[in-house]
Structure 1
Amino acid sequence: MEMHGHLRVTADIRVKLLKISPATVDRLLQNGRRCNTGGVSHTKSGSLLKNQIQLRTFADWDDASPSFFEVDLVAHCGGDPNGAFLNTLTMVDVATGWLECMPLLKKSANDVITGVSVAMKLIPFDLKGLGTDGGSEFINHELLEYCEKNSVTFTRARTHKKNDQAFVEEKNGSVVRRLVGYDRFQGIKSRAARANFYQVLRQYVNFF
């Protein structure tokens, strides 16, 4: 990290870092790691439109055809839900496994719609369906109207039933969390960096 300009330390600290053992590092970081053992769920139920959006369960994807995507958000808050931080919009085609990731500045209906719109231009086939959880960033008039305008079938999973979103939940862990991690990211520059990273990542994941 020092060689590539990512770390600057004093001579005294540098000597200590070179002498410290892995066991001591583990002991010193124990409390911090305990606080960041996993992601924090920020899903807030959007109950207003639930009766207008078709309910979908895991079993409903058995005979899924291409172009129907499960969608979810991954929060990059570093364990602190306060303030503004980036989210990743994860979209997975159930039939083919095609993946698109979009960095969002914040968690809002407009940001989600913008992310979906960009993804529609990148996906090599038509987007025919979106399946989301019951979060208010998805269950809202704006996204419902967007889907109706673009002839996209809009469905939602059952509350607190993560298995209904099994495909996107798996990619959240195996791709986004594994390669981006659990740190806090915020601001336009950070979003631009995530966007550049996802441009490379989508090719790696989808083709290799």
Structure 2
Amino acid sequence: FVHDGSMKAIMKTEELTTIEHLSNFLEGTQAVAFTISSDKDKRYRWLQRELVRFDYLSLNKPDKGIVIRYLLKVTGYSRQQLTRLIAQYRKTGRLSRQQRTTAGFKRRYTDHDIRLLAEMDERHDTPCGHAIKKLCERAYQVFGQSEYETLAGISVSHLYNLRQSKAYQRQRLTFEKTRPKSSTIGERRKPCSNGQPGYIRIDTVHQGDLDKQKGVYHINVVDEVTQFEVVCCVERISERYLIPALEQLLETFPFVVQGFHSDNGSEYINRKVAKLLEKLRIEFTKSRPRHSNDNALAESKNGAVVRKLFGYEHIPQRWAPQINAFNHEYLNPYLNYHRPCFFPTTITDAKGKQRKTYPYTNMMTPYDKLKSLPDASNYLKPGINFETLNQVALQISDNEAADQMKKARQKLFNDRLFPKWSG
């Protein structure tokens, strides 16, 4: 016996001479020191010696199981590999390593062919396999490029196999699109407002990246009927920042919000947002596939308002609170009380086809549109009336509101965000 640093008795594998010793060892009551050579021939000789030493072939089934567990633990072999070795010992009475010396099948498509395939994919933006096969055939047969002779006869299925090979992957990086995952949150349909305000469309606008650093996110919300618009700014679109922003947005509208429609982005299609809307009894809908107009109103406002005002240049995330304060104090009042919008009129022809026109006579501010609705006061939130809203709308003129908004924007960008930017 020898002793390790913890004064625990350790014995060598040669001292395990009986099945009882092996059982105690496997149960952890006996510590054993063992080292198996990394040389496969020596490992096979040791394994054969152990099978002979315990007379494995003459043991009963339970004792064989103990020996097998012992050999598995010591050698580190898998159960399948050890079973094959024991079968060889039972058949021949010894263990010998059977070295494979055959060269296997000769490769038809060499690394050179794979590089040609990768270059062809790169050149033509990775079309389908049939198109690449046809291009290889044309390269060899029509244009006489002899290097494509082998690839001209490739099958489409094996072409995809070559695309998965290591030689191809080393030559060219490819990116797979995110696979869509269905979600039960929200109803996939176009919201139906029936001419009532309170059915809002929401979208997110990202303010660019710089040196792998994300910019701020603008949350743009537009009412379908009145085009009442609220823009909010957050550092990130995680739940920590988005849920308070949504609460602020919903509170800003003077009328009761009845519907909430978004695209299928995960920032909105999640259980936190669904729980908030359910608490407020707001209908939650999301855009349908192949119906790009479902959220077109918010997306058009992204370009007409957010991008025109903030551009495309990167804005660091730390400035989100200052931008959000600017939106709340200057931008949102200007958009809703002082900036006119076109409102459509739907015309149905004799065949039943509908088309929209935007007459000049229908142009008005979102607030004026709200007041023009039948029984408009019934849509206002409790405690809000048109007398109070009129004071906000008529406190300053449209030009003064625009000047104030421009000056505040210039001060924000020149003094804080982009000191050298002229605005």
Q: Same fold judged by TM-score > 0.5?
A: yes
Segment of structure 1 superposing worse, 196-205 or 160-169: 160-169
Gap change, CA 1:45 and 1:138, over 3 Å in 2: farther
C-alpha separation between the residues in 1 aligned to 2:290 and 2:216? 23
Q: Percent identity?
A: 25
Gap change, CA 1:45 and 1:205, over 3 Å in 2: farther
Aligned partner of 1:128: which letter?
A: Q
Provide the secondary structure at the position in 2 that maps to 1:63.
Answer: coil
C-alpha separation between the residues in 2 aligned to 1:66 and 1:81? 42
C-alpha separation between the residues in 2 aligned to 1:45 and 1:153? 27
**1:91-130 deviation digits (Å, cap 9, x = unpaired):** 0000110000110111223422211101122111112211
Aligned partner of 1:67: which letter?
A: G
Query: How far has the Cα of 1:82 moved from its partner?
Result: 3.5
Aligned partner of 1:47: which letter?
A: K
Does the alignment pair 1:195 with 2:324?
yes
Among 46, 49, 53, the residue aligned to 2:186: 53
- Residue number in structure 1 paired with 2:131: none
Query: How far has the Cα of 1:46 moved from its partner?
Result: 7.3
RMSD: 2.2
Does the alignment pair 1:96 with 2:220?
no
Gap change, CA 1:198 and 1:136, over 3 Å in 2: same
Does the alignment pair 1:124 with 2:247?
no
Q: Is the 8 A contact 2:287 2:295 kept in 1?
A: yes
- Residue number in structure 2 paired with 1:30: none
C-alpha separation between the residues in 2 aligned to 1:45 and 1:111? 26
C-alpha separation between the residues in 1 aligned to 2:333 and 2:179? 33
Does the alignment pair 1:115 with 2:245?
yes
Gap change, CA 1:87 and 1:65, over 3 Å in 2: same
* Equivalences, count: 160
Q: Is the 8 A contact 2:220 2:232 kept in 1?
A: yes
- Residue number in structure 1 paired with 2:128: none
Structure 1 gaps, min length 5:
1-43
Structure number with larger C-alpha Rg: 2
- Residue number in structure 1 paired with 2:335: 205
- Residue number in structure 1 paired with 2:269: 139
C-alpha separation between the residues in 2 aligned to 1:184 and 1:160? 31
Query: How far has the Cα of 1:64 moved from its partner?
Result: 4.2
C-alpha separation between the residues in 2 aligned to 1:45 and 1:138? 18
Query: How far has the Cα of 1:48 moved from its partner?
Result: 5.0
Gap change, CA 1:177 and 1:81, over 3 Å in 2: farther
Gap change, CA 1:110 and 1:46, over 3 Å in 2: farther
C-alpha separation between the residues in 1 aligned to 2:214 and 2:312? 15
Query: How far has the Cα of 1:160 moved from its partner?
Result: 6.0
Aligned partner of 2:280: which letter?
A: N
Aligned partner of 1:129: which letter?
A: G
Aligned partner of 2:326: which letter?
A: F
Q: Is the 8 A contact 2:263 2:295 kept in 1?
A: yes
Provide the secondary structure at the position in 2 that maps to 1:195.
Answer: helix
Gap change, CA 1:133 and 1:207, over 3 Å in 2: same
C-alpha separation between the residues in 1 aligned to 2:331 and 2:272? 29
TM-score by length of 2: 0.35
Q: Is the 8 A contact 1:133 1:156 kept in 2?
A: yes
Stretches of 4+ aligned residues off by more than 6 angstroms: none
Aligned partner of 1:184: which letter?
A: H
